[in-house]
Amino acid sequence: DSKTLAEAAQRDTSSMKSLAILTAIFLPPTAVATIFAMPFFDWTHSGSGPVVNHKFWIYWATAIPLTIATVTIWWVWIRRESDFKRKLMEVEAKLKEM
């Protein structure tokens, strides 16, 4: 029954929206806590020198390329999916013409 399917789809959409909101709320503080927990910071340092370890650049050297790779893979995936949907619609239109 199409009504049952529509109701199930709406429940799934609501669940996914709730999950996305929770992720948006908790992800930034989790990321900050993770960075501050790294051994790149010496919070017990009492001298006048820097609190940040001189190897902190390693974090950025790995985080930035991984972020770029993730966004690129996502973009390629969305692009391919869009192209596939467009081609599918073209095929369906040609079949209807027959």
Task: Give pLDDT tens digits for 75-89.
Answer: 999 999 999 999 999
Q: Is residue 96 in a domain?
A: yes
Q: What is the mean pLDDT of residues 63-67?
A: 93
Residue 38: inside a domain:
no
pLDDT of residue 11: 84
Q: Domains in the chain: how many in total?
A: 1
Q: What is the pLDDT of residue 39?
A: 87
- pLDDT (0 to 100) of residue 46: 76
Task: Report if residue 11 sits inside a domain.
Answer: no
- What average pLDDT score do residues 33-45 get? 85
User: Distance between CA 59 and CA 39 in Å, rounded?
Assistant: 11
Q: Note whether 39 and 53 are within 8 A (CB).
A: yes
pTM: 0.59
In whole angstroms, give the CA distance from residue 62 to residue 51: 21
| Residue 87 lies in domain | 54-98
Mean pLDDT value across residues 46-54 = 81
Residue 27 sits at φ, ψ, to 5 deg, of -65, -50
Q: Could you tell me if residue 76 is inside a domain?
A: yes
80 assigned to some structural domain: yes
